[in-house]
Amino acid sequence: MRKTAGFGYTSPLTNPSTKDYSMKLSRNFLPTLREVPSDAVIVSHKLMLRAGMIRKLSNGLYTYLPIGLRSFRKVERIIREEMDAIGSLEFKPTVVVPGDLWKESGRWDSFGPDMLKARNRVDLDLVVSPTAEEAFTALIRDELASYRQLPLTVYQINTKYRDEIRPRYGVMRGREFTMKDAYSFNATPESLDATYHDMAGAYRRIFRRCGLSVLSVKADAGAMGGTGSEEFMVESTVGDNTLILCRSCDYAANVEKAACKGDWTEGKATAEKLATIDTPNVKTIEDLTAFLKTTPRAFIKTLIYRAVNVELDLSSAPGCAALKKTSSSPEAPATYAEALFAVCIRGDLDVNETKLAAVLKAREVSLASDSDVERITGAPVGFAGPVGLVSAPVVADESAMHIHDAVTGALKLDVHYTHVEPGRDFTPWMTTDVRTVKAGDRCPVCGGEFYEKKGNELGHIFKLGYKYTKSMHVSYLDENGKATVPLMGCYGIGVDRTLASAIEEHHDDDGIIWPMSLAPFQVAIVPVKFDGEMKEAALRIHDELERLGVEVLLDDRDERPGVKFKDIDLIGIPVRIVVGSKNLPANVELKLRNEKDARLVPVAEAAGEAKRIVDAALAALDALEALDAESSPPTGR
């Protein structure tokens, strides 16, 4: 044992046979950066690199360093606590999964190139899990026998891989990432509702405890056939989702899902008969507007879309007689590999491809090629219209059906129709809502004005219904001994994203300002010089904090004070205790990262005071939770 000669106090930290050395900064690994690596563009990415939390291995692949991992584990722990609190059970599935499972559900093909596939030495197809519906469903299928086992909610916090086309923003959008994914199995829709509701509550508590302001929005249920879906978003200028929000009520939706109130007046049908006009070299809506001296709202725009893997029944649809449904496996739902549609919408609006894909139950839709357009419309691009179109089903947005005396393409080069009356001159195969809602549109609930925000998705809860349980043949015996297929829900949270988002929300020019719940260490002790009485006082306070169960980092490095202050600010430790000779032997300085000024505290009280601050901060984050719980009490299950 080494003695700190002459100062009469031996800290466990100076005794090499004891204690956690990560708490001693000289024994930790904290490569902070003064300069910002040039490829970081968002603040959390910059700060995570500068604070020595992460390092890049390759595009979309990041290593967590010890300081970063400590915060990462705290997010995991909060998620775990809240999942456990609603009775969700943690499993530890494998990351690599047999491809057969994915063939069974049909997603081997439909998930697309985002899925990383591999083959082992005996040529077995393997998947590096991008999500785990299949893995959990397969497990539960084998184990679920009786209604008595339901409802059942399971989860994991595990590594996922998605082969993103363009990873960016550091850990915010990596290829390898950690996700908490939970899956519920329920006997009845009511039971699924209850689990869904509990999850929503748990998610709110999780994000609150992480110090995050999240917005929950209606999400795209997509081709997955779900009945309810909610995304938890944080506002972000680099968010890859556009959120549609109402100024007057709490309507909030992802633009992929958002609907709006009809913005048309019930005009009168024209008495004029359908007529053609020559429109030489007039192809776009802008050209037409100028040519006819009218507004885009008078046009019915017709776009030819190509849809892939269409599940919707097209047996009676125009132009689809030759199409046949196929299936990649006996279990997977049969789909049309490809189908073309003519989509009509009012000239001033845009088609929302996500909504269109959902309506068509298609995996994906995209504008058709020029040659397909010519084949379907019998004219070059620019003269498509619904009147007389028989080679493809016409899908009309409601907006198109409320125009009177409209102008459309006439399926002939340089010719348009005028005096078109929807219903009289053409009847769509399907009338639906596929318009892209934008700021300024009106809320379908209250009529208020919409505005837009950009957001990042941190979590998603989703009622899946029977999608996987049917295709993968999950069943149990109900009270009457009858084989019954359970309903399913899935619930995800991006762990890395949540961590990065907390930094996005809590930082200043000097670095991160951690919420107490996520700080890698709750308290930092900075002796101005790690020597003499300063060293002794620092060690005393350190040991006392440790006894009090506070996570403390002691900056024992032989650095100038300025360097230490900068580093501690950068890594965002919420409470800082500076031990300097100018205040000793009586006092030390206590400063909070989110406050400007420090105050003096007697040496003997420093640890206790810091402990109180830590507890109060954690309690404050929990108090928000209590408030929240009051407004929406958790349901019994």
Q: Which residues are near RNA by CB under 7 A?
A: 32-39, 41, 50, 58-59, 114, 162, 164-169, 173-174, 177, 179, 231, 238, 240-241, 353-354, 364, 366, 457, 460, 492, 494, 496-497, 510, 528-529, 560-563, 565-567, 569-570, 578-583, 589, 591, 598
Smallest distance from RNA to CB 428, Å: 23
How many residues would you count in the chain? 637
Nearer to RNA by C-beta: 59 or 295? 59
Nearer to RNA by C-beta: 196 or 429? 196
* Alpha carbons 84 and 326: distance in angstroms, whole number: 42
Smallest distance from RNA to CB 338, Å: 16
Smallest distance from RNA to CB 136, Å: 17
Nearer to RNA by C-beta: 162 or 301? 162
C-alpha torsion sign, points 236, 241, 246, 250: negative
* Alpha carbons 312 and 298: distance in angstroms, whole number: 31
Smallest distance from RNA to CB 607, Å: 17
**CA distances in angstroms from 448 to 442, 485, 634, listed in the order given:** 5, 42, 31
Residue 254: Cβ within 10 Å count: 21
Smallest distance from RNA to CB 457, Å: 4
Residue 441: alpha-carbon gap to chain centroid: 25
Smallest distance from RNA to CB 294, Å: 28
Nearer to RNA by C-beta: 224 or 274? 224
Smallest distance from RNA to CB 502, Å: 15
Nearer to RNA by C-beta: 208 or 355? 355
- Contact between 456 and 241 under an 8 Å Cβ cutoff? The reply is yes
Residue 114: alpha-carbon gap to chain centroid: 16
Nearer to RNA by C-beta: 407 or 528? 528
Nearer to RNA by C-beta: 364 or 478? 364
Nearer to RNA by C-beta: 41 or 321? 41
C-alpha torsion sign, points 461, 465, 470, 471: negative
Q: Of 445, 437, 384, nearest to 409 (Cα)?
A: 384
Compute the CA torsion angle 72, 74, 79, 82 (nearest 10 deg): 180
Residue 70: Cβ within 10 Å count: 19
Nearer to RNA by C-beta: 159 or 427? 159
DSSP 149-171: G-SEEEEEEEEEE---SS-BTGG
Identify the three-state secondary structure at position 508. strand
Smallest distance from RNA to CB 572, Å: 11
Smallest distance from RNA to CB 51, Å: 9
C-alpha torsion sign, points 371, 372, 375, 376: negative
Which pair of tokens denotes residue 597? 């000024």
**Can you tell me which residue has the tokens 């308290």?**
523
Name the strand (E) or helix (H) holding 500. helix 495-505
Nearer to RNA by C-beta: 241 or 522? 241
Nearer to RNA by C-beta: 45 or 74? 45
Smallest distance from RNA to CB 565, Å: 4
Smallest distance from RNA to CB 160, Å: 7
- Contact between 512 and 47 under an 8 Å Cβ cutoff? The reply is yes
* Alpha carbons 457 and 294: distance in angstroms, whole number: 41
- Contact between 499 and 71 under an 8 Å Cβ cutoff? The reply is yes
Nearer to RNA by C-beta: 256 or 551? 256
Which pair of tokens denotes residue 50? 């500068």
Smallest distance from RNA to CB 542, Å: 17
DSSP 388-432: T--SS-EEEEHHHHT-SSEEEEEEETTEEEEEE-BTTTB--SEEE
Nearer to RNA by C-beta: 167 or 409? 167
Smallest distance from RNA to CB 536, Å: 15
Q: Of 628, 207, 225, nearest to 455 (Cα)?
A: 207
Identify the three-state secondary structure at position 364. strand
Smallest distance from RNA to CB 92, Å: 20
* Alpha carbons 506 and 483: distance in angstroms, whole number: 52
Nearer to RNA by C-beta: 50 or 306? 50
SS (H, E, C) 519-588: CCCCEEEEECCCCHHHHHHHHHHHHHHHHCCCCEEECCCCCCHHHHHHHHHHHCCCEEEEECCCCCCCEE
Nearer to RNA by C-beta: 319 or 572? 572
Which pair of tokens denotes residue 634? 């958790």
* Alpha carbons 163 and 543: distance in angstroms, whole number: 47
Smallest distance from RNA to CB 156, Å: 15
Smallest distance from RNA to CB 350, Å: 11
- Contact between 72 and 106 under an 8 Å Cβ cutoff? The reply is no
Nearer to RNA by C-beta: 8 or 562? 562
* Alpha carbons 40 and 509: distance in angstroms, whole number: 16
